[in-house]
Amino acid sequence: MTRRVEILRRAAEVFSRQGVANTSIEDIANEVGIKREGVYYYFRSREDILLEIVLPQSRTLLFNFSNIIESKRPVMERLHAAMRNHLESYDPGYVEMAVALREDHNLNGRGSGKAERKSADRKKQQELRRVWKDYTALWLRLVKEGQESGEFDAALDAKMVAFGILGMCNWLSRWYDPRKPVPIDEIVTTFFAMVSRGIGAPHDQGAEFAKLA
Task: Please write the tens of the pLDDT for every residue from 82-94.
Answer: 999 999 887 655 5
Q: Number of folded domains in the chain?
A: 1
Residue 141 identity: R
pLDDT computed for residue 35 by the predictor: 93
- Domain of residue 114, residue span: 50-201
Residue 179 φ/ψ region, left for φ over 0, alpha for ψ in the -120 to 50 degree band, beta for the rest: alpha
In a domain, 22, yes or no: no
Q: Which of 19, 66, 21, 49 is nearest to 173 (CA)?
A: 19
The answer as to whether 9 is a domain residue is no
Q: Using an 8 Å Cβ cutoff, are 191 and 169 in contact?
A: yes
C-beta neighbour count of 64 within 10 angstroms:
17
Residue 189 lies in a domain: yes
- pLDDT given at position 71: 94
> Does a structural domain hold residue 207?
no
Whether 39 maps to a domain, the answer reads no
- Residue 25: inside a domain, yes or no? no
User: pLDDT band at 203, cuts 50/70/90?
Assistant: low
| CATH code, 180 | 1.10.357.10
At 57, the pLDDT band (50, 70, 90 cuts) reads confident
Q: Does residue 97 sit within a domain?
A: yes
